[in-house]
Structure 1
Amino acid sequence: MWDKSPNPWFIVPCASQLLHQRKMEKPWLSLMLISILCCLALCKGIESPEFAVIHAESDFEVRLYPESTWMTASVRDISFEKSTWNGFHRLFQYIQGANLNFSRIAMTAPVLTSIVPGAGPLHSSAYFVRFYLPVKFQATPPLPLPELHLKPDKWAIHCIAVRKFSGYARDDNIVKEAEKLAISLSRSPWANFTTSESNYAYSIAQYSSPFQIFGRVNEIWVDVKNSGLEGCESSSVSTY
């Protein structure tokens, strides 16, 4: 059975309807207002990509994700935190109507930041911040305005190893969390099946509002290649 990840990140449809803006001079104020309005309105029904858990241990699990489409913002910065805010600011404009259809798009979760291996302080040189498109737009995503420098990415069915962690995802803790997942995988039947062919070392999935202090949910994602192990026979290395 397909499952869905918990908790919205920080923007939802009913809150976005209360903000009529095309260009945000102070995006952090807009994001804070949206988060507060969402909490007051008790908005629900955030879409997330479906998945099936095919292997579970105490500190990680392996999920099978079906095909899906994401909108992606590429960012070059040494900071994971700055890159995520930069990329999501552009994605937020897109879902507010900065697209060729002038479509308003409902918020989804998680906000996913993928790290490209490199030589920077976080062993990275670039980031890709991703927004999961609602089912309504999966087949035909509205085209973003050119100045936003966004592009849709189609993911093939594939498996992902996932480790959950709480608190805030920061520059100083995401590498440690990724290392913990790597250690867990090295001691499991999946030790030899994390992909070295992907262009991304790992991704950080954030589900909670930046203004939520308690009960925060984050995940480290690592791709699992076509392993032949039960449940992942049909998966392949993702090309996102």
Structure 2
Amino acid sequence: MYISGLFLAMVAVGYPTAEGRVGDSSESDICTETRECLLSDLICGNEKYQVRHYSPVKWVSTDVENFFMEVPAMIAFRRLFQYISGANDKNQTIEMTSPVLVKVQTKGIFEMAVYTMSFLLPTEHQMTPPKPNNPEVYIYDMPEKNVYVQSYGEYMMTHTDRDQARDLSKFLDKIGAQYNKDFHMAAGYNSPMTAKNRHNEVWYVVEGEPVCPDNWKPTAP
């Protein structure tokens, strides 16, 4: 009774629960191919970039080391797709969500890096997700965070992601923004089969107070 009452109280006052902000894709203009997606609260933004707030949510993740994104992406996607297809301790099929997230370590051109791909767990599996059968796949609790976001429409590949990340990083340095430079996140919202109207993003995690543009205006999250 105490736990149930505490949980309801947390929801009533808006305290972040384990379910975080996974919701109906109809609430977002950028989630067009899945029923549920990761929802955010817009802090500020303009045509160049946004600052978003994300609540804590659970993902299923896996790590692959390589020089470039393309090979790890294929290996990691296969592992995670097997998990949502039933390779878990409950033999459950889990619905696909958006976005697919890739954590990209900052590195030199000829350095190996660890690429961490994550699938967002849908609402019904946020509290108690099935355990992966593959030891290389794990459940990840993403903490609450603010992120700087830049969007683009090309396919997410090594060179496009690198160019977009560099562009956003240089801009953030120019405006004096503080952010974690050890890595960035690449977020993809479309199937590889989608050729037009693609939506991809680069995220940098905000450190300290976010810097909003002077001429900021509300933009679609």
Same fold judged by TM-score > 0.5? yes
What TM bracket, shorter-length normalisation?
Answer: 0.7 to 0.9
- Residue 182 (structure 1) aligned with residue 169 (structure 2): yes
- Residue 133 (structure 1) aligned with residue 121 (structure 2): yes
- Per-residue Cα deviation, 1:164-222 (whole angstroms, up to 9, x for no partner): 0012111222111001111222333xx332125xxx51111111111111101100011
Of 195, 199, 202, 1:220 maps to: 202
Structure-2 separation of matches of 1:92 and 1:126: 19
Runs of 4+ in 1 over 4 A off after TM superposition: none
Structure-2 separation of matches of 1:134 and 1:177: 28
Match of 1:49 in 2: 38
Match of 2:184 in 1: 202
Following superposition of structure 1 onto structure 2, how do residues 142-161 of structure 1 map, counting pairs within 5 Å?
A: 142-147=130-135, 149-161=136-148
Match of 1:170 in 2: 157
Q: CA deviation at 1:71?
A: 0.7
Q: What's the secondary structure of 1:146's corresponding residue?
A: coil
- Per-residue Cα deviation, 1:134-173 (whole angstroms, up to 9, x for no partner): 01111111000035x1111111211011100012111222
Following superposition of structure 1 onto structure 2, how do residues 6-155 of structure 1 map, counting pairs within 5 Å?
A: 6-7=30-31, 46-121=35-110, 125-147=113-135, 149-155=136-142
Is there any run of 5+ residues in structure 2 with no aligned partner, and where?
A: 1-20, 22-26, 213-221
The CA RMSD over aligned residues, in Å, is 2.1
Task: Report if the CA contact (8 A) 1:5-1:49 is conserved.
Answer: no
**Per the alignment, do residues 124 and 173 of structure 1 end up closer, same or farther by CA in structure 2, a change over 3 Å counting?**
farther
Is there any run of 5+ residues in structure 1 with no aligned partner, and where?
A: 9-43, 231-240
Task: Report if the CA contact (8 A) 1:115-1:124 is conserved.
Answer: no
Greater strand fraction, Structure 1 or Structure 2: 2
**Per the alignment, do residues 63 and 185 of structure 1 end up closer, same or farther by CA in structure 2, a change over 3 Å counting?**
same
Task: Give the letter for the 2:74 counterpart.
Answer: W
How many residues are aligned here? 187
Structure-2 separation of matches of 1:165 and 1:209: 15
Identical counterparts, % of pairs: 25
Task: Give the letter for the 1:134 counterpart.
Answer: P
Structure-2 separation of matches of 1:6 and 1:175: 22
Match of 1:211 in 2: 193
- Per-residue Cα deviation, 1:18-71 (whole angstroms, up to 9, x for no partner): xxxxxxxxxxxxxxxxxxxxxxxxxx6521111101010221101000111111
Q: What's the secondary structure of 1:172's corresponding residue?
A: helix
